[in-house]
Amino acid sequence: MKTQFFQSVPTLQSERLILRRLTQADAGALDRLAHSDVVYRCLPTFLYEQKYPDIHRVMDGLYDE
């Protein structure tokens, strides 16, 4: 059985940072982030965003996992 923590993804905002649900408009930035050598060094060896060549496919399934 799949556990659901929130009915919708919450938004957290401060003076310097906004954490919100990613949208298709964020696909380019997510792709650059996922393929950055600097970022990749700090992440686990498994990176979901690098599993698929089409970042839009990743965005479609991002909140289903």
Q: What is the rounded average pLDDT for all residues in the chain?
A: 80
Residue 32 pLDDT > 70, yes or no? yes
Predicted confidence band of residue 8 (pLDDT cuts 50, 70, 90): confident
Q: Give the pLDDT of residue 39.
A: 81
Is residue 28 a part of any domain in this protein?
yes
Is residue 46 a part of any domain in this protein?
yes
Is residue 32 a part of any domain in this protein?
yes
Is residue 29 a part of any domain in this protein?
yes
**How many Cβ atoms sit within 10 Å of the Cβ of residue 27?**
19
Between CA 62 and CA 52 the distance in angstroms is 12
Residue 17 pLDDT > 60, yes or no? yes
Predicted model pTM: 0.60
Predicted confidence band of residue 13 (pLDDT cuts 50, 70, 90): very high
Is residue 38 a part of any domain in this protein?
yes
Domain boundaries, position 33? 24-61
Report, as an integer, the average pLDDT of 37-41.
81
